[in-house]
C-alpha cells in the first residue's frame, strides 16, 4: 500500500512553488506590459523601436528556449540567476509581451475625443494618462489580463526543465517513485484547475468593482 | 484702439497635398462675439481646433493675448517653434466646448468640472467644488452634480461641458457646433446658457454654428467662410439680411431651404 499522504504533501509543496511563480511572474508581466505597451505609443522613435523589439522577440521565440538561455547561457556571460529567478523573469517577460499588446490596444480604443478634451483642459501628458485614459482603458484590459495570467500559470510547468520543483515536477517524481500515473496527475489537474478558477474569479470581481457606476457608458 | 486678443497672420493649414487654410488672416478684439458660418469643409472648425492646439499649423503665426501661440522668441529674439511648456501656458487662456461634449464618462458631473482646476491650477478641492457648484447653478444643473454623464440628456451633457470649460476661467471660449449633435428640443437650453454667457461676461467668444438665428442675435460680427477663405464679413444684419457676395447668398438660401430660420 502506497503512503499517499506523504506523496500528496510533495505535490502540495510543488503547488506553492507554482503559485509563487504565477504571482511573481504576473507582477513582472504587468510591469513589462505597461512599460512596453506605453512605450509602443511613445512619440520617441527609439522608445517605440525598443518596445516593438521586446514584444516581437518574446512573442516570436519559445518560452522553453528563452528559459534555457536565461538559465544556462547567461551564466557564460557571468549573469547567474537562481532557477526561481530565471523562471519568474522568463515567464514575466514572455507573458508581458502579450500583455503589452493588450495595454496598447485598450489605450488606443479610448476615443480620440477624450484626448482632445484633455488638451483643451490643459492637462499634462501624465495627468491625461493617469486620470482620464488609463481609468477608461483598464476595464478593457482586464478580461485579457485574466487570460494571460492563466496562460502564465500553465506555462509555469516548463520550469521543471531547469530543475525547479514546481507542481508538475513533483508529480513526475511521485510517478517515478510509485509507478502510479493516475493519482499524481489527477491531483495536479485538479490543483491547476482550482488555481485558474481563482484567478479568473478574482479578475472578474475586480472588473466589476472598477466599472461600478459606469453602466451604459460604452453604448 | 486695443490690440486684438487674437491675431491670425497668413495661417496655412494643409493635410498632405490638401490645403484647408491658405494664408488666412483675421483679428478678434477682446470681448468680441464672433460667429463663423459656412459650408462644411470650409475651414471654420479647423480655425477653432488650431486655436485650441488640437491641430498644428503648416505656416503663419498666431498671437493670443499678446503672445505667440505656436512660436516663442529665443535668446536672440528670433521666432522659433514653441515648446510644450509655452503651449501649456498659452492654453490657459483658451477654453473649448465640443460638438460631442467629450465629458469624462468615468467621472461624475462635479468631478468633470473640478478636475482641471485642481490638476492644472492647483486649486484646493473645496474651493474648486464651490466654484463648480456656482457654475452648475448657472447652467441649471446643480441638482445633477453627483450624476454620471451617462445619466444625462445631450443638452444637459453640453451644459456640463460648458461649465467644465468655464471652470478654468479662460479669456477666450471656442464653441464648435455645440448644438449640432443635439435633438432639436434640447438645442434651446444650450443656446440659453450661451446667451447668458454673452450678456453677463466679457469673454471673447468664437462659435462655429449652423444655428443662423442664434448667430444673428448673438454675434457682434459674422464671418462667412468658403474653401478656407473669409468670403464676407460684417455685422449680423449686413450678412444675413443683405449679403453682397453671391456665395454667401447661395449658402444662406440653402440653409433656409433646409429649414433653419434666420
**Cα dist. B251→A50, B41, B158 in Å?**
53, 13, 27
Chain A closest-CA separation from residue B159 CA (Å): 15
Chain A closest-CA separation from residue B250 CA (Å): 33
B171 vs B64: CA distance, rounded Å? 10
Q: What digits encode the pLDDT tens for the residues B221-260?
A: 999 999 999 999 999 999 999 999 999 999 999 888 876 6
Q: What digits encode the pLDDT tens for the residues B43-59?
A: 999 999 999 999 999 99
Domains of chain A as residue ranges with CATH: 8-210 (1.10.3720.10)
pLDDT band at B262 (very low <50, low <70, confident <90, very high): low
Cβ contact B148–A213 (<8 Å): yes
* Residues of chain B found within 8 Å of residue A121, distances taken between Cβ atoms: 115-116, 120, 164-165, 168
State percent of chain A over pLDDT 90: 81
Q: How many Cβ pairs within 8 Å bridge chains A and B?
A: 66
Angle between helices B154-166 and B125-138 (to 10 degrees): 130
Residue B131, pLDDT > 70, answer: yes
Quickly tell me which residue has 510533495 as its cell: A10
The beta-carbon neighbor of A120 closest among B88, B95, B106 is: B95
- pTM over 0.95? The answer is no
A200 vs A150: CA distance, rounded Å? 8
Backbone angles phi, psi at B22, to 5 degrees: -125, 80
Residue B261, pLDDT > 90, answer: no
CB B148 within 8 A of CB B110: no
pLDDT band at B34 (very low <50, low <70, confident <90, very high): very high
Write out the three cell numbers for A144: 485579457
Q: What digits encode the pLDDT tens for the residues A153-197?
A: 999 998 888 889 999 999 999 999 998 899 999 999 999 999 999
Write out the three cell numbers for B99: 460638438
The stretch A30-43 carries a mean pLDDT of: 96
Amino acid at each position: 500500500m502506497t503512503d499517499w499522504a506523504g506523496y500528496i504533501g510533495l505535490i502540495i509543496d510543488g503547488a506553492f512553488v507554482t503559485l509563487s511563480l504565477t504571482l511573481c511572474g504576473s507582477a513582472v508581466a504587468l510591469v513589462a506590459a505597461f512599460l512596453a505597451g506605453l512605450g509602443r505609443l511613445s512619440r520617441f522613435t527609439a522608445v517605440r523601436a525598443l518596445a516593438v523589439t521586446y514584444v516581437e522577440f518574446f512573442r516570436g521565440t519559445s518560452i522553453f528556449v528563452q528559459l534555457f538561455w536565461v538559465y544556462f547561457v547567461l551564466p557564460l556571460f557571468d549573469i547567474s540567476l537562481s532557477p526561481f529567478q530565471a523562471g519568474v523573469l522568463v515567464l514575466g517577460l514572455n507573458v508581458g509581451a502579450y500583455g503589452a499588446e493588450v495595454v496598447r490596444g485598450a489605450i488606443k480604443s479610448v476615443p480620440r475625443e477624450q484626448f482632445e478634451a484633455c488638451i483643451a483642459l490643459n492637462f499634462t501628458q501624465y495627468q491625461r494618462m493617469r486620470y482620464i485614459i488609463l481609468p477608461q482603458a483598464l476595464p478593457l484590459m482586464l478580461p485579457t489580463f485574466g487570460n494571460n495570467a492563466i496562460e502564465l500559470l500553465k506555462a509555469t510547468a516548463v520550469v521543471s526543465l531547469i530543475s525547479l520543483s514546481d507542481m508538475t515536477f513533483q508529480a513526475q517524481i511521485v510517478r517515478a517513485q510509485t509507478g502510479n500515473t493516475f493519482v499524481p496527475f489527477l491531483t495536479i489537474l485538479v490543483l491547476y484547475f482550482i488555481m485558474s478558477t481563482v484567478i479568473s474569479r478574482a479578475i472578474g470581481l475586480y472588473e466589476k468593482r472598477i466599472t461600478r457606476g459606469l453602466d451604459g457608458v460604452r453604448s | 484702439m486695443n490690440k486684438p486678443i487674437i491675431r491670425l497672420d497668413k495661417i496655412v493649414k494643409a493635410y498632405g497635398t490638401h490645403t484647408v487654410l491658405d494664408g488666412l488672416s483675421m483679428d478678434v478684439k477682446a470681448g468680441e462675439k464672433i460667429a463663423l458660418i459656412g459650408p462644411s469643409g470650409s475651414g471654420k472648425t479647423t480655425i477653432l481646433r488650431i486655436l485650441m492646439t488640437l491641430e498644428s499649423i503648416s505656416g503663419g503665426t498666431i498671437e493670443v493675448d499678446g503672445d505667440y501661440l505656436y512660436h516663442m522668441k529665443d535668446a536672440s529674439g528670433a521666432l522659433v517653434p514653441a515648446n510644450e511648456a509655452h503651449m501649456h501656458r498659452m492654453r490657459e487662456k483658451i477654453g473649448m466646448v465640443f460638438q460631442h461634449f467629450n465629458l469624462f464618462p468615468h467621472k461624475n458631473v462635479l468631478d468633470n468640472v473640478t478636475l482641471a482646476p485642481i490638476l492644472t491650477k492647483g486649486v484646493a478641492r473645496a474651493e474648486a467644488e464651490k466654484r463648480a457648484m456656482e457654475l452648475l447653478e448657472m447652467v441649471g444643473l446643480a441638482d445633477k452634480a453627483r450624476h454620471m454623464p451617462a445619466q444625462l440628456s445631450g443638452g444637459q451633457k453640453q451644459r456640463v461641458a460648458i461649465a467644465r470649460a468655464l471652470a478654468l476661467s479662460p479669456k477666450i471660449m471656442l464653441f464648435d457646433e455645440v448644438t449640432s449633435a443635439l435633438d432639436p428640443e434640447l438645442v434651446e437650453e444650450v443656446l440659453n446658457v450661451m446667451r447668458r454667457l454673452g450678456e453677463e461676461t466679457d469673454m471673447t467668444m468664437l462659435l462655429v454654428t449652423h444655428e443662423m438665428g442664434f448667430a444673428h442675435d448673438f454675434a457682434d460680427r459674422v464671418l462667412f467662410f468658403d474653401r478656407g477663405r473669409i468670403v464676407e464679413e460684417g455685422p449680423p444684419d449686413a450678412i444675413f439680411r443683405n449679403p453682397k457676395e453671391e456665395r454667401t447668398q447661395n449658402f444662406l438660401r440653402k440653409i433656409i431651404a433646409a429649414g433653419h430660420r434666420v
